Structure 1
Amino acid sequence: LEAAAARQYYETLLARLSTATGQDKLQLPEARVIDRAPVPEAPSAPRPKLLGAFGGLLGLTVAIIVAVIMEMTRSSFRTRREIEAQTGHRVLATLPRMRRHDMRRIVSGLRGRSNTVFGERMRQLKTVLLMRRGRYDKQVIMVASSRPGEGKSTVAMALAEMAVLAGKEVVVVDGDLRCSSLVKNFGWTPEHDFADFVLERCALDEAILTDAELGINVLPTANHSVAAADELSADWLAPMMDELKAVYDVVIIDSPPLLEVADGLVLARVADSIVYVVRWDKTPRQAVAEGLEALAAMRLGVAGIVLNQADPRYTENSYGEAYGAYAK
Structure 2
Amino acid sequence: MKPFSSVVVITYWLSLSFYARAQVTTGSQKLAAFSKQKSMIQQSPYKTLKWRLIGPDNRSGRCVDVAGVTGNPNIMYAAFATGGLWKTEDVGVSWKPLFDQQATLSIGSIALAPSNPDVIYVGTGEANIFRASLPGIGVYRSSDGGKTFRHTGLQNTGTIARIVVHPKDPNIVYVAASGNEWSYNKDRGIYFSKDGGKTWKNILFVNEKTGCIDLVMDPSDPNTLFASMWNRIRRRWSDPVPEDGDHIYKTNDGGKNWKIINNGLPDTKYTGRIGIAVSHSNPNVVYAFVDDHEKKRDPRPGETDSYERQK
The structure with higher relative contact order (CA 8 Å, sep 6+) is: 1
Higher helix share: 1
Structure 2 length normalisation: TM-score?
0.27
Structure 1 length normalisation: TM-score?
0.26
Higher strand share: 2
Higher gyration radius (CA): 1
